[in-house]
Amino acid sequence: MNKVTNANRQNFGFYAVMVIIILASMYFSKKSLAERVDYQAYSAGQWKNSAQIYRSLCIYCHQTRIAPVILGRHYSPEALKVLVRSGINTMPTFRVTEINNKELEDLAAWVEQSPAPATTESVFSKGVK
């Protein structure tokens, strides 16, 4: 019985350390990502251009394999606008107060015309133009 208890303690310690490592890596990766990507809080009408909107709202998921890469795939702007407004699966919806209809139209056209990124790292280190 005592050996089972010691084994359980060892397993608990191992899993506790793993959880701490995972949480720490999540914290620090978000922090470094926020430093590399333009994460300022803007609302509709305050965006400078479509590239800034993409860097602030889209790149975290669509350039890190959380969601499909959308640049260079020539998606229909109409389809992109519907997805942005309604969301799908894990993609959140974006309200008109976050990105207005004109900004969304420009973003959808920009995404459709943009070339595919060479690598994820190049997008973060050099920025999306």
Distance, CA of 81 to CA of 75 (rounded, Å): 10
Query: Are residues 1 and 16 both part of a single domain?
Result: yes
- Please name the helix (run of DSSP H) or strand (run of DSSP E) that holds residue 100, with its range, or none: none
Q: Are residues 74 and 119 in the same domain?
A: yes
Contact 39, 56 (CB under 8 A): yes
Tally the domains of the chain: 2
- For the domain that residue 116 is a member of, what is the CATH number? 1.10.760.10
Q: Give how far Cα 10 sits from Cα of 15, 18, 107, Å.
A: 9, 12, 52
- pLDDT-based confidence at 45, cuts 50/70/90? confident
Considering the domain architecture, whether residues 24 and 70 belong to the same structural domain is answered as no
Q: Are residues 31 and 50 in the same domain?
A: no
Q: Give yes or no: residues 31 and 49 share one domain.
A: no
Percent above pLDDT 70 for the chain: 67
- What distance in Å separates the CA atoms of residue 91 and residue 72, rounded to the nearest whole number? 19
66: CB partners within 8 A, 6+ apart: 60, 90
Q: What is the pLDDT of residues 47-94, one digit of tens each?
A: 899 999 998 889 888 888 888 899 999 999 999 999 999 998 888 999
Point out the least confidently predicted range of 12-16, 23-27, 101-105.
Answer: 23-27
Same domain, 77 and 99: yes
What pTM was estimated for this model as a whole?
0.60
Question: What pLDDT score does 51 carry?
Answer: 92
Same domain membership, residue 104 and residue 51: yes
DSSP 33-76: HHHHTT-----TT----HHHHIIIIIHHHHTTTSS---TTS---
Segments forming the whole domain that contains residue 56: 38-126
Whether 104 and 114 share a structural domain: yes
